[in-house]
Structure 1
Amino acid sequence: MRISAIIPARFASTRFPGKPLVKIAGKSMIERVCERVCSSKTIDRVIVATDDQRIFQAVTAFGGEAWMTREDHASGTDRLAEVADKLQTDLVVNVQGDEPLISPAMIDSAVAPLRDDPTIPMGTLKSAIADWQEFRDPNVVKVVTDHAGNALYFSRSPIPFPREEWQAASSPMSALGVYKHIGLYVYRRDFLLKFAAMPQSPLEALEKLEQLRALENGFKIRVVETDQPCIGVDTPEDVTKVEMLLTNNDAR
């Protein structure tokens, strides 16, 4: 089975323009993401998909593989599908280009169900929510699953709703069994192309969560739990946090 990772990377960003090329402890963020993905035991090929020549040139300069894509894509998934359409591969892993500390083990754990079970079209990750503030935050996407680990729903609202504990907010979060979604996806190539061609679904439009399109059309999403930390870079201040973590890890 051939497994390819594609990292969508745009130069334009409302909060942080040029984010993929920002230096983090001497290396660009996109280089650090590529290094992490290349360390995965399951990935055969890593491609950066971009619409910007500056990112393309930076990736090729450090020896990575980059593909130029159209500028009019509405989402990273559409950019992913453009590359996958020309790619000979069985599985496609969508890795966010703003997570320079992503663990290779996270990628491997997300890939495993689709590698082992040909009936699963799509997979992703979840991790336990640490505190009530995170649980209430609409920027933290929550997910609930069935006993087999298939997603039942994703929402920006607190789900499942802990009716007894909500007012006091005194129960430990570990006792509630609530999870946040981690935006790493694994697709079967043929399903990815089909998924990208589907029209936006009503729940997707309401919650602004693209993965709901798959659920509304009756497709399963296998969700694997991980305890690996996942820190995204959304603002210049986040760069400092990541550099501190890198320094602490190197000192160990």
Structure 2
Amino acid sequence: MTITENKITSFEENREIILEVNNLRTYYPIYGGFFKRKIGVVKAVDGVSFNLYKQETLGLVGESGCGKTTIGNTILNLVRATSGEILFQGKRIDNKNFTRNYRKKIQMVFQDPDSSLNPRWKIINIIGEPLKILMGIKKRSEIRRRVLQLLETVSMKREHLDRYPHEFSGGQKQRIVIARALACNPEIIILDEPTSALDVSVQAQILNLLKNLQKEFNLSYLFITHDLSVIQHIGTRIQVMYLGKMVEGGKIEDVFYNPTHPYTKALLSARPTFDP
């Protein structure tokens, strides 16, 4: 495996590339002094490149603050890229190129479901919102039918439709967030630490649900995590980040059993066992 600031090409397949990130940089300015002038930058993402193939799970791993969540936010245009390219099915989507159509195709599941669920909305409204905004569905009966179908897909029940988020457990809330992500029939779901706030037994249920959904809907996952044991269970390939850069990548078995970078070795030595 080659360690490089740019694209790590240790893993090559003939499968179609659905998402391509080329030399991505996302910097945050630092202001200081009496006049609050720019005195430097934080290089959250610094020259990162990788490909995501159709129907695969690519694990993006590293410790907190390494820039992995910033990559997900930049892909979704929640944070503007400083430079570089992001391509979806060969077309640029970074910054101003990210349109509503791409918003439907790329969805995100955040780490903390409590912060991404409106506590004043019923579940039917939470899951139904993207159906209205992005899919253009106006009829209440059709929205209700689609939301019920989505809840059943994530093993929730009809009686959950008219309840509020505080009435559910952490695992159930994450299922609701996943159902909302599926509402627009996406091709890519970015999963930002989707199991880190859950008990181990519930983690296993969510991971198995994600694997089943991937097969059913032909989804591609960019799975952001600090837990290598989780990505070993669900991942196809892995990219290791350190201080805003990619330091190692390849097939799961290659990186886990033959790591070359000292940081990867340190992560592997600290990982807990996980048996879903």
Does TM, scored on the shorter chain, surpass 0.5?
no
* Higher Cα Rg, which structure: 2
TM-score when scaled to structure 1? 0.26
TM-score when scaled to structure 2? 0.24
